[in-house]
Structure 1
Amino acid sequence: MTLTRFPAICALSALLALAACGGGRTVGLPSPDIGAATVTRADFGDSDPTDWGGPGPAAYAVHGIDLSKFQSRVDWRRARAAGVNFAFIKATEGGDRLDPYFAENFRGATEAGIAPGAYHFYYFCTDAERQARWFIENVPRTPGAMPPVVDLEWNPFSPTCTYRPPAEEVRAEVTKFMDIIARHYGQRPIIYTTPDFWERNEIARLGGETWLRAVAETPDKVYPGARWTFWQYTGTGIIDGIAGPVDINVFAGSPAEWRAWRAARAI
């Protein structure tokens, strides 16, 4: 596993206008203090732990979570004390869904000293421009936040969209979405994905930073040759301050590299 090295005319006229004015439905989110990014040691449990058979997530110093409405309310200060250093927070899905806990979670994480970031669950039955517009409407351009994330995975439980486009279409539409988001926020989105989606759609061809799910084996075995910045290693984590199971992740670097990444990739 290798540490990813970091980099430092919208299609719709309405989107151009929105990006120019920085408008959004969610307003007043606090700006994280990048300089206060002290790393706290992870003290987590797992209701279904994996035997990694060697160096696993414990080899990394910087741990964090991702969450959505399913975790309900979080005691962020307790979570921070337990070792949560960053939180990817669900904001939007498709072109019309907003997570009802997004703003509350973003504020709570920020106030507790946890680096916050927003993610969008991509919906393959809605065009890329509409989804980008929806994300921009609901996620303010907040200085100090982590870069946006686009969550790419199949949703077999969707009651309205079972469409699985060919790989070329997936990559083309996702590229449109990412380009619009990058122009607005000044940072290219991180790609989150799963093993089957990665392989079937050749997501490596999109380039950029990745956040990879691998809960039974380490990423070097599940995604041979892939470079990653974040690794989601369990979906059954137990963390003080959070009711029920939660996804836990690691950052692919040391505390010093984490601080450098935060400075380079902050919105």
Structure 2
Amino acid sequence: MKLSRRRALGGLMAAGLVAGCGGAGGGRGGPPGLMHPRMLQAADHRAPGIPARFGDTDPHEWQGHRPDLYPVHGIDAARYQGPIDFGRARAAGVAFAWLKATEGGDRVDPGFEMNARAARRAGVPVGAYHFYYFCRSPEDQARWFLRNVPRKAGDLPPVLDIEWNHTSPSCRLRPPAVETRARMRRFLAIVGDHYGTRPVIYTTIDFFRDNDLQHFDGYEMWLRSVAGDPAERYPGTRWTFWQYSGTGVVPGVAGNVDLNAFAGSAEEWQAWLARRSQ
């Protein structure tokens, strides 16, 4: 997720579309650090394979198993999208949203609380994700997430976003696969116990491969695959959510945003919500 944010933000900056981020004064009506990219129009970026009311500024040439074959779609977002109009997003077909809440053991996303409230008011199921930092213990990070994400009835399960952070200026640590999986289980156990539901795991192709996550049982997977069907990139892996674009355009969301599909039908989505909501 973080890497796709960087890509999307870089594209906006190159095109001169970023209006600026909040400094000490907090920006234009939002928390300090909140970004305010210009609103893109989905109609200007229609793309084959993308749901009809969304768009994509850098679409993949989907063939065969296209994302729009799935009926249930949602977004994940962070401060880079600024304030989100979830009423418009829901009307365009956004059925769920995960928002970045925390990173490591000392960082909070400044857009989380505001956008989570907006999603709930609009009737969009919303959840929080934590971006994992390999130079801090899983216990510290789990406690930080618990401290900053209140348990709300009806919210989506929490998400562990775990991927290699190739450009981190402070932590280039890459533990062995066995150790990485052990750290994941420690974080997931603490968070799952607190919220009363098992977290979902978001990850990328290289991280999944490097850490043998095809053997990581007991948790639902949310897989990034923006240039092919997950069945091609994660052979034999069962997934619940598929992140199919990091350059999506959605009414109500400024700039680019990640697009995601749920693996089942609309009826299966409602059953999943009933079973997995907090």
Q: TM-score, normalised by structure 1?
A: 0.83
Structure with more relative contact order (C-alpha pairs < 8 Å, separation 6 or more): 1
Matched residues, number:
227
Residue from 45, 48, 65 that aligns with 2:75: 65
Q: Distance in 2 between matches of 1:165 and 1:138?
A: 27
- 1:42 CA drift (Å): 5.5
Q: Distance in 1 between matches of 2:170 and 2:212?
A: 25
Instruction: Output the aligned Cα RMSD.
Output: 0.9
Is contact 1:47-1:236 (8 Å) kept? Answer: yes
**Structure-2 residue corresponding to 1:256:** 267
**Structure-2 residue corresponding to 1:247:** 258
From the superposition, tell whether residues 42 and 121 of structure 1 become closer, same or farther in structure 2 (CA, over 3 Å). farther
Residue from 216, 226, 229 that aligns with 1:206: 216
Residue from 209, 227, 235 that aligns with 2:238: 227
Residue from 173, 185, 196 that aligns with 2:195: 185
**Structure-2 residue corresponding to 1:124:** 134
SS in 2 for 1:157: coil
Residue from 232, 255, 277 that aligns with 1:266: 277
SS in 1 for 2:202: strand
Is contact 1:151-1:191 (8 Å) kept? Answer: yes
Query: Where does 1:149-160 land on structure 2 (aligned, <5 Å)?
Result: 149-160=159-170
**Structure-2 residue corresponding to 1:170:** 180
- 1:97 CA drift (Å): 0.4
Unaligned runs of 5+ in 2: 1-50
- 1:82 CA drift (Å): 1.1
**Structure-2 residue corresponding to 1:96:** 106
Unaligned runs of 5+ in 1: 1-40
**Structure-1 residue corresponding to 2:60:** 50
Q: Distance in 2 between matches of 1:168 and 1:101?
A: 34
Amino acid at match of 1:254: S
Amino acid at match of 2:64: G
* CA deviation profile, 1:87-133 (whole Å, cap 9, x unmatched): 01100000000001110011111111111010000110000100000
Is contact 1:42-1:83 (8 Å) kept? Answer: no
Is contact 1:124-1:161 (8 Å) kept? Answer: yes
Q: TM-score, normalised by structure 2?
A: 0.80
SS in 2 for 1:134: helix
SS in 1 for 2:94: coil
**Structure-1 residue corresponding to 2:151:** 141
Identity %: 57
Runs of 4+ in 1 over 4 A off after TM superposition: none
Q: Distance in 1 between matches of 2:194 and 2:254?
A: 34
Residue from 241, 246, 249 that aligns with 1:238: 249
